[in-house]
Amino acid sequence: MIKKTFFPVRFILLFFTFLLTVLLYVDRACISTAKVPISKDLNFGPTDFGWIMAIFTLGYALFQFPSGKLADNKGPKSVLAGIVTIWSLLTSLTGATWNYASMLIIRFLFGAGEAGAFPSLAKVVYSWFPMSERGIVQGINFSGSRLGAAFAMPLVACMLSLIGWRNTFVFFGIIGIVFALLWYFLFTNTPEESKLLNQSEKEFIIRNRQKSGRSEPKKLTFSNILRSGNVWLAMIQYTCSNFTFYFTLTWMYPYLQERFMLDGVKTGFYAMIPLIFGAAGNWISGIMVDFIYKKGKPKLSRQLPAIIGFLLAASGILLLSVVKSPEASIFALSVAIFGADMTISPSWAFCIDIGKENSGVVSGTMNMAGNLGAFVTIIAFPYIFKWTGGHETFFYLCSGLSLMATVIWLFMKPEKAVVGE
């Protein structure tokens, strides 16, 4: 066992959760970067590959509520260790697929396996971090997912040329297994259980984290959650955010490569730029959330960063519909993803606010809706192009949804908790 340290243990924990989200999105982004060799080897068309990428988000969405419930009931220590192990095995198994049906099955199970990651992290944030640090913690965690996807694109492009797509998936799966073991043996569900914390940090966390306000924690059912107008608003706006982001995660790389006739590695370096801007959006939004919260304006601390983010997302994606060069497209995408990712930290902070000790299941419900939206996004992109002969209609739809979400945030109430039984 590691000895006690005077360096805040919760910051070491934050570094681990950041690495977890990096790994989460490296594994998730592999499939987009490997589209060309996989399609060539297994004879997939554009709409075939759209379903392959979308089926992941369907599995991911459908298992958000049960996995969030599991994290609330069992704690994130064993749940996250199991989740990372499952998705890592399925990452490796992706490299063993031999036809369309096997790829669909593996990718659906992969999505289901990853489903509990962010709801479990929400439970970690609720238990381990003071209210005044919630925004930046969420920003750092989600920036890891964007950086993971960003660096995966050129990295995976290089690995594809060196060891092939099958071995690339096996390699990343092995890394995940190692991480799962480290998480299980080093992490505890709550600071009260940790032997690494010194007494002053433990007392600081317990004194400043969110209180449930109840003598007996109330468990939420799915029907309880769906009776909350707050949750419905969170679900709808998060769907709007994911509509833009998941285009970037899944179709941006092949879109840039095919539209501008770029080679794989160059496309990878181009495609990483908007995702790096997305990471910056998470950080800046997280800092804004905490800064405004410390000024005594908790509601504004959630609303303002999200509204600014959605306005930027709408502007950037609308610009993408008219630009004609790869450089201009990257600029437009960078603005759009910077904005879309500014909405993430306030969205998850909002779910923890209203979910409290049930933050895993409430945030999982929001994430479920968002990923059902992502499923539609991934399917819609190739089909809209097939029906209209261009991508402009899809980009107009993304922009319109972001504008709708700015209005939705005006009616969201972080002070109004979800009522349990």
How many CB atoms neighbour CB 282 within 10 A?
29
User: Alpha helices, DSSP H only, in 261-388?
Assistant: 264-294, 298-320, 326-342, 344-355, 359-388
* 224 domain-assigned: yes
Token pair for residue 37?
A: 């060799």
What CATH number does the domain containing 115 carry? 1.20.1250.20
* 288 domain-assigned: yes
* 399 domain-assigned: yes
Per the structure, the complete domain to which residue 200 belongs is given by 9-409
pTM: 0.77
* 203 domain-assigned: yes
* 417 domain-assigned: no
Only one residue has tokens 């950037």, namely: 316
Q: pLDDT at position 246, please?
A: 83
Q: pLDDT at position 383, please?
A: 87
- The Cα-based distances of 37 to 95, 105, 163, 388, 407 in angstroms read 12, 19, 12, 27, 43
Q: Is 369 helix (H, G, I), strand (E, B) or coil?
A: helix
Q: pLDDT at position 213, please?
A: 53
* 421 domain-assigned: no
d(CA 273, CA 270): 6
Only one residue has tokens 């069992």, namely: 74
* 420 domain-assigned: no
Q: What is the DSSP string of 155-223?
A: HHHHHHHHHHHHHHHHHHHHHHHHHHHHHHHH--SSGGG-SSS-HHHHHHHHHHSPP---SSPPPPPHH
Q: pLDDT at position 215, please?
A: 47
Burial 181-213 (b: 16+ CB within 10 A, else e): eebeeebbbbbeebebbeeebbebbeeebbeee
Query: Chain-centre distance of CA 417, in angstroms?
Result: 23
Kindly give the confidence (pLDDT) of every residue in the chain, 421 residues in length, as a single tens digit, with 9 standing for 90 and above: 344 445 688 888 888 889 888 888 777 777 877 888 898 899 888 788 888 888 888 888 888 888 878 888 888 888 899 989 998 999 899 989 989 999 999 999 998 888 888 888 888 888 888 888 878 888 888 888 888 878 877 888 888 888 989 999 999 899 989 999 999 988 888 888 888 888 888 888 888 877 655 545 566 777 888 888 899 999 999 999 988 888 887 788 888 888 888 776 788 788 889 989 998 998 899 899 989 998 889 899 999 999 999 999 999 999 998 888 889 999 999 999 999 999 998 998 898 888 887 877 888 889 888 888 888 888 888 888 889 888 889 999 999 999 999 999 999 998 887 765 5
Token pair for residue 43?
A: 């004879």
Q: Could you give the angle at the alpha carbon of 374 between the alpha carbons of 370 and 376, nearest 5°?
A: 120
Report helix angle 359-388 to 392-409, nearest 10. 150
* 415 domain-assigned: no
CB 293 within 8 A of CB 301: yes
Q: Is 171 exposed, middle or buried (0-12, 13-18, 19+ CB in 10 A)?
A: middle
Only one residue has tokens 């095919």, namely: 258
Q: Which residues touch 129 (CB under 8 Å, ≥6 apart)?
A: 10, 14, 137, 205, 209
Token pair for residue 244?
A: 């833009």
Token pair for residue 35?
A: 């589209």
DSSP 323: -
d(CA 107, CA 367): 18
d(CA 372, CA 419): 25
Reported residue count of the chain is: 421
Q: Per the structure, how many domains does the chain have?
A: 1
Q: pLDDT at position 410, please?
A: 95
Backbone angles phi, psi at 220, to 5 degrees: -100, 135
- The Cα-based distances of 116 to 82, 93, 189, 366 in angstroms read 10, 20, 15, 12
- The Cα-based distances of 16 to 13, 130, 268, 310 in angstroms read 5, 18, 26, 29
